[in-house]
Amino acid sequence: MHRDKAPVDRPVVSPVPLGEAAGRLWDGVVLVTGTAGFFELKRGRGRPVTS
């Protein structure tokens, strides 16, 4: 996935958001990746991944 010609890893989210929640998540990804100097955001999974 690329945003403004820079590669971007996709968000890892479980369970996968749908509809408006997915759009809000993507809007947030676009916001932070558009910030000069932003490189990485990561946190531990504190709970098991669900499907």
Query: In this structure, what are the phi and psi dihedrals at residue 5, rounded to the nearest 5 degrees?
Result: 70, 0
pLDDT attached to residue 46? 74
**Could you report the per-residue pLDDT of 1-46, keeping only the tens digit for each?**
555 666 777 778 888 999 999 999 989 988 988 888 888 887 777 7
- Cα separation values, 43 from 12, 18, 22, 38, 46, Å: 10, 22, 19, 15, 9
